Each structure stands twice: as structure tokens, then as C-alpha cells.
Amino acid sequence: MIILNHTVPTFSESLFAIDREIEGKALFSPSITPSHLQIMAKWFRCRIGIFVNGKWTKYGSWTATDSDVPTMLIQQQDNGKYAPILSLK
């Protein structure tokens, strides 16, 4: 129920027209796209950090005032799959 309360209002507030070609590519993509990550960060009001090839790509709000927002750190592996980062060195 908690997820429903957080996602439904955000989803209904953010409805917008989308290009059908972009929509189709996102819906039938065999892997996660940047669009998917942006939408998930907005729906779940969280931050997602993806570490790929020595660089971070950030999704969601990363401002200092949002320090209480849930943050997921994920590493993209060589095979294209994602794995959670459980500790920082």
C-alpha cells in the first residue's frame, strides 16, 4: 500500500504526450534504458546512481537538501547486467 500511495499520485501528475516511436522502444527494449531509470527515480522518489566505465550517471534529485531520499547505487557489469553496490572502498 505504501508503494501505491507514492507512485499513483506521481504517475497521474506527470502524464504527458510521448512520441509513439520512443514509447515503443522503451516498452519493448530488451534492457534497461536511461528513460526507465529516470521514470523509476521519479515514481519512487529516490536517487539511482549507475557506475559504468569509471563514471557515475545519476538519476533523480541529488541536491544536498535531499539527503533523506533513498539512494540505490548500482554497477553495470561487463555482460550488461546490473548489480547492487553493497559497500564503498
Q: Is residue 49 part of a domain?
A: yes
Q: Is residue 43 part of a domain?
A: yes
Q: Is residue 89 part of a domain?
A: no
Q: Is residue 11 part of a domain?
A: yes
pTM above 0.85, yes or no: no
Q: Is residue 39 part of a domain?
A: yes
Burial of residue 74, with CB atoms counted within 10 A of its CB: 0-12 exposed, 13-18 middle, 19 or more buried? middle
Do 20 and 43 contact (CB within 8 A), yes or no? no
Number of residues that this document lists for the chain: 89
Domain CATH for 57: 3.90.70.80
Can you give the residue range of the structural domain that contains 75? 2-84
Most confidently modeled range among 13-17, 21-25, 43-47: 43-47
* 83 vs 63: CA distance, rounded Å: 24
Greatest Cα-to-Cα distance within the chain, rounded to the nearest angstrom: 43
The count of domains in the chain is 1
Q: Kindly report, residue by residue over 35-71, the tens digit of the pLDDT.
A: 888 888 888 889 999 999 999 999 988 887 767 889 9
On the question of pLDDT at 12 being above 50, the answer is no
Q: Is residue 57 part of a domain?
A: yes
**What is the per-residue pLDDT for 5?**
53
* 27 vs 43: CA distance, rounded Å: 17
